[in-house]
Amino acid sequence: MPTLARLRHVIASVPRGKVITYGQVASAGGFPGAARLTVWALHSGEGLPWHRVVGAGGRIALRGEEGQEQRLRLKMEGVTFRGGRVRMELHNWTPRVSLRRRRPPRGPQGDFAALGDDAMPRSVSKATPPWKTA
């Protein structure tokens, strides 16, 4: 599944009355620490429940009328606020299944072991080291 499609899948899975942060979407999609990637997924995704994605700590990250619309949509779904932030202890949603990318198994020679000796750098391979060749 392509990168943005994975993030859109996570966003589309958020149920009514729940929210998820930009960073949580990225982590669940297999890209921890890439919260800005979530923004790209939202900009290019049609029909997504964009209002259910909030900033860290439940902050409404959008400004002006868009932020007011997000807050209104969340209130209509039963989401409650404390000050300007969503009450995350009540409304935070965590996906059950993560779409994290799986790393290949590491063998005794690191990541190259699964690929065979031809893929290993000369310094890592079992071949004769360059300084010992005649």
Q: Is 42 a member of any domain?
A: yes
Claim to verify: residue 71 and residue 112 sit in the same structural domain: no
Q: Is the pLDDT of residue 72 over 60?
A: yes
**81 and 110 co-located in one domain:** no
Question: Angle 35-43/3-12 helices, nearest 10 degrees?
Answer: 80
* In a shared domain, residues 133 and 86: no
Same domain, 76 and 23: yes
DSSP one-letter code for 54: E
How far is it, in rounded angstroms, from Cα 115 to Cα 47?
Answer: 41
Global confidence as pTM: 0.70
| Within a domain: 67 | yes
Q: What proportions of the chain, in percent to the nearest 5, are helix, strand and coil? A: 45, 10, 45
Looking at the predicted structure, is the pLDDT value of residue 77 above 90? yes
* Domain presence at residue 13: yes
pLDDT of 111 > 90? The answer is no
pLDDT over 60 at 12, yes or no: yes
The one-character DSSP state at 92 is B
* Structural domain span for residue 23: 3-91
Asked if residue 35 lies in contact with residue 10, where contact means CB atoms within 8 angstroms, the answer is no
Domain count, the chain: 2
The answer to whether residues 57 and 118 belong to one domain is no
Statement to judge: residues 75 and 120 lie in one domain? no
